[in-house]
Amino acid sequence: MTLLEVDGISVSFDGFQAINGLSFAIGEPELRAVIGPNGAGKTTFMDIVTGKTRPDSGRVLWGETNRNILGQSESAIARLGIGRKFQKPTVFEDQTVRENLAMALKDRRGPFSVLFGLPADEGRLLDFAEEVGLAAQLDRLAGELSHGQKQWLEIGMLLAQEPRLLLVDEPAAGMTPAEREHTTDLLKRLARRHAVVVVEHDMDFVRRLDCRVTVLHEGRVLAEGSLDHVTQNQDVIDVYLGR
């Protein structure tokens, strides 16, 4: 099933056309890599889907009803089930892994559970810790975790928000080979139940993900298909070689 469809999106910044008639769809479940050279529009695409940037034209269609969600606030879009993970991990370093996850769980349950200090559901908290591979680290301070573990914690916190679509920006950047492997497995596992869009520069990592790839260039789709398919496309080769 198609979960998200961007349809004819265009946006310009001070006369510069950053996104130019962008159209493509993401299924649920699905793992998709979005690649493209610097300035291709990958970040702006995520900004538009999450409601941070409003395009000049086009539609963003969501869910079973194909509802156009453009114009909704960032928090309303997050509540629909669109979660975003930025490249730099933003966990609470002076809190434990358990406290970080508990906060994300309470956040999902709304302001009253935070206000009245209601405990987070320990069972669900453990599920999320296990899912991202941090069950043995629950009582460690997030600030003591490795870079990779912090990234997984943040993915766990995102999962606590019960997203249907996860937008993940360069998840393996700065990771050790073992952490990259764990991250590959984690993303593949998540993509059995969720729509997962990975924005990525690192072609070796994209190859490991072994998924459909969308290549952006100058704010539109240049090619789409398996990594082998798109890397044989002459337009893609020209763009990457800067011709």
Please state, in angstroms and as integers, the Cα–Cα distance from residue 147 to each residue in 66, 159, 198, following that order.
38, 19, 18
User: Please, which residue, 57 or 146, has the CB nearer to ligand ADP?
Assistant: 57
* Least Å from the CB of residue 144 to ligand ADP: 32
Burial of residue 161 (number of CB atoms within 10 Å: 0-12, 13-18, 19+) = middle
* DSSP-assigned letters across all residues of 196-210: EEEE---HHHHHHH-
Write down the least CB distance from residue 169 to ligand ADP, Å: 9
Per CB under 6 A, does 42 bind ligand ADP? Answer: yes
Supply the minimum distance, in Å, between the C-beta of residue 128 and ligand ADP: 29
The nearer residue to ligand ADP, 13 or 86, going by C-beta atoms, is 13
> What's the closest the beta carbon of residue 220 comes to ligand ADP, in angstroms?
12
Candidates 147, 171, 169, 168; CA nearest to 93 is: 147
Rg, Å, the chain Cα set: 18
> Considering the rule CB under 6 A, would residue 70 count as an interface residue with ligand ADP?
no
Binding of ligand ADP at residue 213 (CB under 6 A)? no
Asked if 39 touches ligand ADP (CB under 6 A), the answer is: yes
User: Hey, which residues between 5 and 24 contact ligand ADP (CB under 6 A)?
Assistant: 13, 16, 18
Question: Residue 85 interacts with ligand ADP (CB under 6 A)?
Answer: no
Binding residue for ligand ADP, selected from 44, 100, 149, 183, defined by CB under 6 A: 44
Contact 9, 60 (CB under 8 A): yes
Kindly determine how many residues on this chain lie close enough to bind ligand ADP according to the rule CB under 6 A. 11
Positions in the binding site for ligand ADP (CB under 6 A): 13, 16, 18, 36, 38-44
